Amino acid sequence: MLKGAMTALVTPFRDGRIDEDALRGHIDSQIESGIHGLVPCGTTGEASTLSHDEHIEVVRITVEQVAGRVPVVAGSGSNSTSEALELTRRVQGTGADACLMITPYYNKPTQEGLYQHYRHVAESVDIPIILYNVPGRTGVNMLPETVGRLAEVPNIVGLKDATGDLKQASYTLALVPDDFVLLSGEDTLVYSLMSLGGHGVISVTSNVAPREMSDMVRAYLSGDIVGAKKLHYRLLPLCDALFVETNPIPVKGALAMMGRIVNELRLPLVPLSERAVPGVRKALEDFGIDLGQGN
């Protein structure tokens, strides 16, 4: 259920508020383009600047609009275990299929602290949990041995690996059961991670290219390695362009160029810099994306 290409959804804003119409339209476009799942309220969804009520509202809208067509995996992590548990319980109440829980950031827990954090939340809820390891943002790296221990907890079902370290991913895969889902958190490494035994991606790039990203993952998992490789190299320049500045700045700029959303972020994030705009625009045009309605 949680394999394939899933989009880390942006949260559209308009005049400081959640743009519900834009979010619903974006969700429909994603599903119509063949994406395998949707992930609201992660890093790309600017969860760190949403209030708890806004966070749950975005998840609720997503679950309602998806209407069971694909899985919804909602962000619910925090650097406070009690806050993470509260968010996870509220996410479960929306009807989301699973939650994505980032490692506690800033306070830099030990590996034992990470284990106890996730175990406490997992044993207090019924919803499946996907761990999220992104040390470049959090300041802590969850090691393969810790993931292996957590994989023994019944409702901890997978890991989004955004370390960019294929060696670490290999050791992780060696320590978890075959049904434990490993998803790439780095769009440029999806193909490589699947070659090690990974199961797909939670992608930023699929906000603008959902069909190609889902086709690449689908091709690889069905045994069409050559077809997947071609799509990997086609996607590569676009993936790079969408990380030229801090995510989700470039992808929101790209979606605005495509006429899909207003180019609005919440401070301390600001829109794409003038010097970066031409490169993102060129990457979209080179990929064949129509910018006729954008700005």
Place 7 in a pLDDT band, splitting at 50, 70 and 90.
very high
Bridge partners (DSSP) of residue 83 are: none
Q: How big, in percent rounded to 5, are the helix, strand and coil portions of the chain?
A: 45, 15, 40
How does pLDDT run across 109-128, given as a tens digit for each residue?
999 999 999 999 999 999 99
Closest CA to 221 of 186, 181, 261, 164: 181
Q: The domain that contains 26 carries what CATH number?
A: 3.20.20.70
Closest CA to 64 of 7, 24, 8, 19: 24
Q: What is the arithmetic mean of pLDDT over 228-242?
A: 98
How does pLDDT run across 39-82, given as a tens digit for each residue?
999 999 999 999 999 999 999 999 999 999 999 999 999 999 99
* Predicted local confidence at residue 56, as pLDDT: 98
Place 290 in a pLDDT band, splitting at 50, 70 and 90.
confident
**What b/e readout covers 150-160, taking b as 16+ CB neighbours within 10 angstroms?**
bbeeeebbbbb
Place 283 in a pLDDT band, splitting at 50, 70 and 90.
very high
Assigned domain for 261 exists: no
* Predicted local confidence at residue 18, as pLDDT: 98
Assigned domain for 260 exists: no
Structure tokens at 204: 């930023």
Assigned domain for 48 exists: yes
Q: Containing domain of residue 193, as a range?
A: 4-224
What's the predicted TM-score (pTM) here? 0.96
Residue positions annotated with a catalytic role? 132, 160
Assigned domain for 51 exists: yes
Structure tokens at 56: 């749950």
Assigned domain for 201 exists: yes
* Predicted local confidence at residue 202, as pLDDT: 98
- Number of structural domains found in the chain: 1
Query: Measured between alpha carbons, how far is 268 from 181 in angstroms, rounded to an integer?
Result: 33
Assigned domain for 246 exists: no
